[in-house]
C-alpha cells in the first residue's frame, strides 16, 4: 500500500503546499478583524506566543505522525498505538472539524469570488463608505449569490483535490503562493505610501501592548486562531506529512511554514489597518472588515479598480490553497480507510461539504439561520460553527495530538523522526518539553478559564474592554490625520 502512495515532487513543493494550507482567509480576512475586535497589541502578542509555543510544536508532531506512518490522521493514530485505540477518536474529530470548517470557509471564499466579479465590473467606482457597506450587506444577505458561489468554489476545490498530490495540490500551490506573496507586498507598499498617518497609527494599534484590553475569551480566541491559522489540530498536516518521504526534515520545514504564515498575517494587518485609520473607519467592524474597508481605500488610489481586482484575487487564491488541504483531510481518510479511488472520494466529499455549507450560505439572508439561530447560541449559524470549530474542536484536537505525540507514541520512533534529516535535532529536548507539558497545560487552562470552569481572574471583563476601545479615540480619530 505504502509504495503506491503519491508523494510530493520536491521539498519545495511540500513547503509551498503546506504554507498554502496555512496561509488563507485566516490570515487576511480573520486575523485583522479579530485583532480589531480584541483591541490590537496585547492580543497580537498573546497570539504570537501561542504560535511559537503551542502551534509550532504541534505542527512538528503532526508532520512526524504523517511521515512515519505514511497514513492520514485516523489510521496514523491506529498504527502508532493499537487497533481500535480510543486515540483514533482524535483523528475522527479532526475529519469532522475539517468537514465543518470547509463548509463555512467556502461561503466566505465565495464572497471573495463575488468581489472579484464586482470589482471587474467597476461596481465600487464612485461609491462612498455607506455605498460600499450596502454592497456588502446586500451580497452577504443574498441566498442566491451565496449558494451559487459556494457551489462554484467547492467545484474548483474538488477538481484540484481529485487531480492528486503532485499534479493537483502541489502544482496549484506552486503557482498560487508566490503570486499571493507578490500581491501582498505590492499592496503593503501602496498602503504605506498612500495612507500616510494611518500607517504609524496601525503600527501602534497592532504592536503596542495594552494588557487591559485582554479578556479570557480574547485569549481563547488567540489560542484558537493560532490553531486555525497554522492549520493544526485536525490532522491536515498528518495527511500532508504522509506524502513526505520518511527521511524528510519535519522541524525545519515546520519553522518555515509557521514563519511564513505569521509574516503574511502581520502583513495583512499592515495593509488593512493603515487604510482603516486613514479613512476614519472602525477597526472592529467584524467579519465584514476586509469587504467593507478595502474597496473604499483601493478605489481612492490611481488605478483603483485594478487594485481592487488584484486584492480580491489575492483573497480568493489564499482561500483556495487552504480549502484543498481541508478537503484532502476527508479525501485521504476514505482513500486510506475505505480504499475508494481518489476521484470518487474527492467528489463525494465535495458534494457532502457543499450540502453542509448551505445553512452557512443562508446565515445572513434567512431569518432562521440568522436571528433564529442567534436566539439559541448568540451568533448566527456561520459564526456559531466557526466558534465551535476554531475555539473548541481545534484546541481540543491539538491537545489530543500533543498528548499523543508527547506521551503515547514510542519514544524511539519520536526521537528518530524528529532528528532525521533535520539540522535542528539539538532542539529535541525543548520540543519534548513544549509538547508534553507547556502546550497541553496552556490549552487546558485557557480553555477551562474561557468556558467558566476555572476563574483565574487575571483578564479584563468583556465589558471593560469594549469600553476601553471606545474610550481610545486617539486610535480611531480620523481628524488627527489632517
* Interacting residues with ligand PHE (CB under 6 A): 21-22, 24-27, 101, 228-229, 231, 234, 236, 322, 325-326
Quick count: other Cβ atoms within 10 Å of Cβ 175?
13
Q: Shortest approach of ligand PHE to residue 425 CB, angstroms?
A: 27
User: Alpha-carbon torsion 48, 50, 53, 58, what sign?
Assistant: negative
Distance, CA of 353 to CA of 223 (rounded, Å)? 26
Distance, CA of 83 to CA of 305 (rounded, Å)? 57
Q: Shortest approach of ligand PHE to residue 140 CB, angstroms?
A: 19
Q: Shortest approach of ligand PHE to residue 399 CB, angstroms?
A: 16
Q: Are 438 and 53 contacting, i.e. CB atoms less than 8 angstroms apart?
A: yes
Task: Report angle CA 133, 139, 145 to the nearest 5 degrees.
Answer: 170
| Residues paired with residue 215 on neighbouring β-strands, in sequence order | 460
Hey, what's the cell of 432? 519534548
Write the DSSP assignment of 69-80 as a string of letters.
HTS-HHHHHHHH
Q: Which is nearer to ligand PHE, 317 or 476 (CB)?
A: 317
Quick count: other Cβ atoms within 10 Å of Cβ 133?
19
Q: Which is nearer to ligand PHE, 45 or 232 (CB)?
A: 232
Q: Which is nearer to ligand PHE, 324 or 442 (CB)?
A: 324
Q: Shortest approach of ligand PHE to residue 287 CB, angstroms?
A: 13
For helices 251-278 and 289-299, angle between their N-to-C axes, nearest 10 degrees:
60
Q: Where are the beta strands (DSSP E) in 194-319?
A: none
Q: Shortest approach of ligand PHE to residue 446 CB, angstroms?
A: 19
Q: Which is nearer to ligand PHE, 106 or 475 (CB)?
A: 106
Hey, what's the cell of 163? 487531480
Q: Which is nearer to ligand PHE, 393 or 469 (CB)?
A: 393
Q: Which is nearer to ligand PHE, 23 or 80 (CB)?
A: 23
Q: Shortest approach of ligand PHE to residue 237 CB, angstroms?
A: 8
Q: Which is nearer to ligand PHE, 105 or 307 (CB)?
A: 105
* Range list of H helices, 404-438: 411-419, 428-433
75 secondary structure, DSSP code: H
Q: Which is nearer to ligand PHE, 199 or 228 (CB)?
A: 228
Q: Shortest approach of ligand PHE to residue 400 CB, angstroms?
A: 15
For helices 129-141 and 88-120, angle between their N-to-C axes, nearest 10 degrees:
130
Q: Shortest approach of ligand PHE to residue 450 CB, angstroms?
A: 20
Distance, CA of 186 to CA of 310 (rounded, Å)? 10
Distance, CA of 125 to CA of 128 (rounded, Å)? 9
Amino acid at each position: 500500500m505504502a509504495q503506491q502512495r503519491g508523494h510530493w515532487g520536491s521539498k519545495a513543493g511540500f513547503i509551498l503546499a503546506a504554507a498554502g494550507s496555512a496561509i488563507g482567509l485566516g490570515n487576511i480576512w480573520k486575523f485583522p478583524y479579530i485583532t480589531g475586535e480584541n483591541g490590537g497589541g496585547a492580543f497580537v502578542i498573546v497570539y504570537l506566543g501561542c504560535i511559537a509555543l503551542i502551534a509550532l510544536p504541534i505542527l512538528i508532531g503532526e508532520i512526524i505522525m504523517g511521515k512515519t506512518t505514511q497514513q492520514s490522521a485516523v489510521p496514523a493514530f491506529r498504527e502508532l498505538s493499537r487497533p481500535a485505540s480510543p486515540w483514533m477518536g482524535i483523528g475522527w474529530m479532526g475529519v469532522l472539524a475539517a468537514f465543518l470548517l470547509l463548509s463555512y470557509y467556502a461561503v466566505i471564499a465565495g464572497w471573495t469570488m463575488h468581489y472579484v466579479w464586482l470589482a471587474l465590473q467597476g461596481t465600487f467606482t464612485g461609491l462612498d463608505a455607506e455605498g460600499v457597506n450596502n454592497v456588502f450587506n446586500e451580497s452577504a444577505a443574498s441566498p442566491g449569490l451565496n449558494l451559487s458561489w459556494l457551489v462554484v468554489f467547492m467545484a474548483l476545490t474538488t477538481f484540484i483535490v481529485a487531480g492528486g498530490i503532485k499534479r493537483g495540490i502541489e502544482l496549484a500551490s506552486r503557482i498560487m503562493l508566490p503570486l499571493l506573496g507578490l500581491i501582498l507586498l505590492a499592496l503593503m507598499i501602496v498602503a504605506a505610501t498612500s495612507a500616510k498617518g494611518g500607517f504609524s497609527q496601525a503600527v501602534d494599534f497592532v504592536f503596542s501592548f495594552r494588557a487591559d484590553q485582554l479578556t479570557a475569551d480574547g485569549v481563547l480566541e488567540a489560542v484558537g486562531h493560532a490553531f486555525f491559522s497554522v492549520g493544526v489540530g485536525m490532522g491536515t498536516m498528518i495527511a500532508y506529512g504522509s506524502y513526505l518521504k520518511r527521511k524528510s526534515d519535519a522541524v525545519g520545514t515546520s519553522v518555515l511554514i509557521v514563519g511564513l504564515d505569521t509574516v503574511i498575517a502581520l502583513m495583512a494587518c499592515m495593509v488593512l489597518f493603515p487604510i482603516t485609520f486613514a479613512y476614519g473607519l472602525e477597526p472592529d467592524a467584524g467579519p465584514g472588515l476586509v469587504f467593507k474597508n478595502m474597496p473604499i481605500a483601493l478605489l481612492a488610489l490611481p488605478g483603483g479598480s485594478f487594485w481592487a481586482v488584484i486584492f480580491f484575487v489575492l483573497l480568493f487564491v489564499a482561500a483556495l490553497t487552504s480549502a484543498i488541504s481541508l478537503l484532502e483531510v476527508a479525501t485521504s481518510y476514505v482513500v486510506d480507510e475505505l480504499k475508494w479511488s481518489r476521484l470518487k472520494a474527492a467528489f463525494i466529499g465535495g458534494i457532502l461539504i457543499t450540502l453542509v455549507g448551505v445553512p452557512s450560505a443562508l446565515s445572513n439572508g434567512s431569518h432562521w439561520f440568522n436571528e433564529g439561530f442567534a436566539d439559541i447560541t448568540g451568533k448566527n449559524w456561520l459564526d456559531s460553527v466557526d466558534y465551535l470549530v476554531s475555539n473548541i474542536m481545534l484546541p481540543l484536537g491539538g491537545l489530543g495530538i500533543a498528548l499523543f505525540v508527547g506521551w503515547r507514541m514510542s519514544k524511539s520512533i519520536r526521537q528518530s523522526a524528529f532528528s532525521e534529516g533535520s539540522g535542528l535535532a539539538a532542539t529535541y529536548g525543548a520540543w519534548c518539553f513544549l509538547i508534553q507539558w507547556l502546550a497541553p497545560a496552556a490549552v487546558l487552562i485557557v480553555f477551562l478559564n474561557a468556558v467558566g470552569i476555572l476563574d483565574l481572574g487575571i483578564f479584563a471583563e468583556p465589558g471593560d474592554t469594549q469600553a476601553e476601545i471606545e474610550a481610545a479615540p486617539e486610535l480611531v480619530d480620523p481628524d488627527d490625520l489632517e
